[in-house]
Structure 1
Amino acid sequence: MKKQLLVTTLAGAFALSGAVYGSGDHDHSHDEEHKGMTQSGHDEKGGAHNKTDMFLKQRAVDGYQISFHVMRAKSGMEHGGSHNLMVKVEQGDKALNDVVINSKVVYPDGGADIKPLMKMGDWYMTGYDLGEQGEHQLLILFETADGAKHKSGVYYSVE
């Protein structure tokens, strides 16, 4: 019951996070960061840009290192969508295994989806349909063992 209440609370917080994220609380350098990037997140001027390549971005937030990893789901390995979103939360060089984490995707058409992530080794994972052309905003909200809540996000572009 307590976990269900926490997930519901986090989902409600996500409903507000888009407005908070868009209100100027984040670094707007993402425009230059992914300009000319393919779905793989690699620079088209010499880097790999095959749509089957993997996407890996890292962000620092509140003393934690967050890794965002997106890859096309293999047949039979879909976890709720065409792509798997995987997130790792680390402090120092140690992966945290006791966080509660939810994700939100804002699609290029403005629609959104919220899903909890499930634990898989040192990573947390869920699936989304990320095949639509354009920019997808990937957001996470996680609660650490001390009860503190943290948020982060990246952009994933499909050309």
Structure 2
Amino acid sequence: MDYTQLDHYRQVIETILSEYASLSYSYADIQSEVVFDRNRDRYLWMDLGWNGDRRIHGCLVHIDLIDGKIWIQRDGTEEGIAADLERAGIPKEHIVLGFRPTGVKTLHRLCSCLRCVGAARRIRASGRGLGGEVFAKVCNEQFRKIIAIAQSC
């Protein structure tokens, strides 16, 4: 990857994360911040603060640039940060879903659209509150269905 393309990817990532972090929370004293490490090509969107007496401190999005590809290590957005990257012109084959099992990391292996990624997120969200083993079983069954749908796209 040439330096121009690498710099373009950095700028796209920084712009998208900065836009997300600029949105404020209306229900709690939570501040969003971004951490950009261009030397290591690591980009984070963090939330810090308090929701009542509960401490909030967490990484919502973690992206690394590795070997010319954008690796999404953590994605806490509703739609999926990959959709934002694709809309910004990043080719699907340069986006790697680092939080997915090895066989389904790249978007182009799933399908030509992002509906399957969104479906997987909805399944994960609907499983919250289930016991760990029950959730894993439901999630794995649903994920297999999504893969089948995606391969037919």
> Which of structures 1 and 2 has the bigger CA Rg?
2
TM over 0.5: no
- Greater relative contact order structure (CA < 8 Å, 6+ sep): 1
TM-score, scaled relative to structure 1: 0.27
Structure number with higher helix proportion: 2
